[in-house]
């Protein structure tokens, strides 16, 4: 069943996709607009890098608490709280006059996202029908990557015409509309968990031991977490690299959005063909081996950015690499959803996302530091090395695993 059919046949999942579409579109406009707002004010110096990183600090520090909060209040409630807070806070950015005010707002956005990101992943696992993880995740990723095309392009055009202030205000209104759609989504929340006051403290204190027990039961989950760490480092470094590359081509306001849209186009294409690719390749290879090949395939294709062959070449490389990236990402979430029980999804997401956010922040800071000492293309090759280091130790494990739906105790 293709992801178009699953969206058509499952009413609640279709409503979820509609709400997700509006919010992802809004987020990608903000992902484009906020770095440009910072770049216009502070350049690509330490003020820019620290302002980007400060948004990630809450996620790095508050993981166990957030996991317990999601378990207690429900993924839907936490998700809509994040959307409302994020949408309101971004409207304050143009009103700031000092760097500390900007960073305080970004810290607030980071706190809201700290709760919202694992809650959103947990909510996704709850609305995707059982046995349709590949198709369901392909539908979700297709929506996300479609928005990665139209969001940056729309943001770039609005910024060029009206400035970042108007763009941020429009994003606020769109975000509040997405809040309304998620609010009306008919997802059942556990009232018993929401009213349980006594178990909250115990849940927080036991989160880390429970997480390590989860990892200890399944070596494959460990392998996926480690490879995701390499991917997060790559994405953090690639963000600063692409901003710098946009400056080499001309106006960063135009080319930064164009690069993001090219990645979105490739990822959308990959999401559309993912189900067919996976079905064909898994007749011969394990699903985890396909994940490994597509993860390293993305890194190999990105080395093409080191060849200075013009804008068309750069866009082509970004499109093709994004096809490989999205297939690997869909497999990642599908395997995690099949190997980890739903009641432990909140715990897993809240413990792993802070680690991945920390690695993403480290990639941003490392890339910023290396750009002052190395040529831009040497920085690219350095960051691609992290994919190799984190993937190669698990070659045998990925190759011999024949089924991604194996019991979590089999490893």
pLDDT digits (tens, 9 = 90+) for 68-126: 666 667 777 888 888 888 888 888 888 887 888 888 888 888 887 777 777 777 777 77
Q: Inform me whether the pLDDT recorded for 411 exceeds 60.
A: no
Contact present, 26 and 178 (Cβ < 8 Å) = yes
Give 385's pLDDT tier (boundaries 50, 70, 90): confident
- Position 383 scores a pLDDT of 75
**C-alpha pair distances (Å), 85 with each of 53, 177, 189, 346:** 19, 13, 21, 20
Q: Lowest-confidence range among 343-352, 355-364, 379-388?
A: 343-352
Number of domains in the chain: 1
In a domain, 320, yes or no: yes
- Greater confidence (191 vs 77) lies with 77
Mean pLDDT of the region 150-173 = 83
In a domain, 407, yes or no: no
* Residue pointed to by tokens 């090219």: 262
In a domain, 408, yes or no: no
CATH for 292: 1.20.1250.20
- Position 67 scores a pLDDT of 62
- Position 391 scores a pLDDT of 87
**What does DSSP assign to residue 129?**
P
In a domain, 16, yes or no: yes
Mean pLDDT of the region 391-398 = 84
In a domain, 208, yes or no: no
In a domain, 148, yes or no: yes
Range of the structural domain that residue 23 is part of = 3-185+213-400
What span, in angstroms and rounded, lies between the C-alpha atoms of 215 and 1?
32
In a domain, 199, yes or no: no
Total residues belonging to the chain: 411
- Position 1 scores a pLDDT of 42
Residue/partner pairs of 221-224 with CB below 8 Å, 24 or more apart: 221/336, 221/339, 221/340, 221/348, 221/408, 223/288, 223/394, 223/397, 223/398, 224/291, 224/332, 224/335, 224/336
């Amino acid at each position: 069943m293709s992801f178009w059919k699953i969206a058509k046949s499952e009413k609640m999942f279709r409503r979820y996709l509609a709400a997700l579409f509006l919010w992802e579109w809004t987020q990608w406009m903000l992902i484009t607009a906020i770095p440009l707002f910072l770049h216009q004010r502070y350049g690509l110096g330490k003020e820019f890098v620290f302002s980007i990183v400060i948004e990630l600090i809450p996620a790095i520090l508050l993981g166990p608490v957030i996991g317990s909060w999601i378990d207690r209040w429900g993924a839907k409630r936490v998700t809509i709280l994040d959307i409302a807070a994020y949408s309101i806070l971004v409207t304050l950015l143009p009103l700031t006059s000092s760097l500390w005010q900007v960073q305080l707002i970004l810290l607030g956005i980071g706190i809201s996202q700290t709760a919202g990101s694992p809650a959103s992943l947990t909510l996704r696992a709850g609305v995707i029908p059982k046995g349709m993880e590949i198709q369901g995740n392909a539908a979700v990723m297709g929506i996300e990557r479609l928005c990665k095309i139209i969001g940056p392009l729309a943001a770039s055009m609005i910024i060029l015409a009206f400035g970042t202030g108007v763009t941020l205000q429009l994003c606020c209104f769109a975000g509040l509309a997405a809040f309304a759609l998620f609010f009306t989504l008919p997802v059942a929340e556990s009232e018993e968990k929401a009213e349980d006051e006594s178990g909250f403290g115990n849940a927080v204190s036991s989160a880390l031991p429970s997480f390590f027990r989860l990892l200890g039961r399944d070596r494959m989950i460990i392998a996926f977490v480690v490879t995701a760490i390499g991917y997060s480092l790559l994405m953090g470094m690639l963000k600063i690299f692409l901003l710098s590359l946009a400056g080499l081509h001309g106006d960063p306001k135009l080319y930064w959005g164009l690069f993001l849209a090219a990645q979105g186009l490739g990822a959308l294409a990959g999401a559309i063909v993912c189900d067919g690719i996976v079905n064909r390749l898994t007749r011969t290879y394990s699903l985890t081996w396909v994940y490994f090949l597509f993860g390293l395939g993305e890194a190999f294709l990105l080395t093409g950015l080191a060849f200075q062959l013009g804008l068309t070449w750069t866009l082509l490389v970004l499109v093709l690499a994004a096809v490989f990236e999205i297939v690997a990402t869909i497999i990642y979430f599908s395997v995690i959803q099949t190997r980890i029980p739903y009641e432990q999804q909140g715990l897993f997401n809240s413990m792993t996302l802070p680690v991945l956010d920390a690695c993403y922040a480290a990639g941003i800071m490392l890339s910023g530091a290396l750009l002052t000492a190395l040529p831009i293309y040497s920085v690219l090759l350095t960051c691609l090395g992290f994919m190799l280091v984190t993937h190669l130790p698990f070659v045998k494990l990925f190759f011999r695993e024949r089924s991604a739906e194996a019991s979590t105790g089999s490893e």
